[in-house]
Amino acid sequence: MNDMTPTAPTRFVPGEDNTRLLRDAFGRFATGVTVVTTDSPDGVVAITANSFSSVSLNPPLVMWAPDKASRRFPYFEKAEHYAVHVLAAEQKDLCWSVAKDLSCLREMDLNRNAEAVPVLEGCLARFECRQSAVYEGGDHIIVLGEVLRAEMREEGDALAFFKGQMGSFSAS
């Protein structure tokens, strides 16, 4: 007989001595995976982010939250324009390349939008944004962006992140 009784939950008060537990608890929320791109004096810069969310339809707003400790942070804190790319399952290698190397897209022949932001093709959706506001968020900042243009694919599975692992999600 298969016992479907869940194990007892781990309860804790978040603190400096147990940040791994909090990180693991946050990881229980399955998210999509995005790559955010911008242009800089150093060339194309990209960062992976699973902190992306829609905020408002009118006006059209999205948010994401880069880590202040990231080497990429100065580029995105100052970026007036950027693009958020919702990755498809088949873009897992792209996701890992960007996660490992902030300049990995510099050798690619990327299209640019009207604001000269490099854009990726083949994503499930893309949101071309103008930074609207920035808010303090602990060890991250919360970047609110006005969506200037968007595009989406009608088909494809989503690249997903859950419990520190990449996978895919297919709507049935």
Angle at alpha carbon of residue 87, lines to 85 and 92, rounded to 5°: 135
Say how far apart CA 105 and CA 115 lie, in whole Å. 18
Q: Grade residue 49 by pLDDT with cuts at 50, 70 and 90.
A: very high
Give the global pTM.
Answer: 0.90
Domains and CATH numbers, the chain: 31-157 (2.30.110.10)
Cis ω for the linkage preceding 59 (within 30 of 0): yes
Q: Grade residue 2 by pLDDT with cuts at 50, 70 and 90.
A: low
Residue 30 is predicted with a pLDDT of 83
pLDDT > 90: percent of the chain: 70
Quick: pLDDT tens for 86-95: 999 999 999 9
Say how far apart CA 117 and CA 145 lie, in whole Å. 14
pLDDT-wise least confident of 33-47, 82-96, 127-141, 156-170: 156-170
What own/partner pairs with CB < 8 Å and gap ≥ 24 does 22-29 have? 24/163, 24/164, 27/161, 27/162, 27/163, 27/164, 28/162, 28/163
pLDDT > 70: percent of the chain: 98
- Residue 112: is its pLDDT beyond 90? yes
DSSP state of 67: B
Residue 3 is predicted with a pLDDT of 65
- Residue 68: is its pLDDT beyond 60? yes
Angle at alpha carbon of residue 85, lines to 107 and 140, rounded to 5°: 95
Quick: pLDDT tens for 145-166: 999 999 999 999 999 988 888 8
Say how far apart CA 78 and CA 94 lie, in whole Å. 24
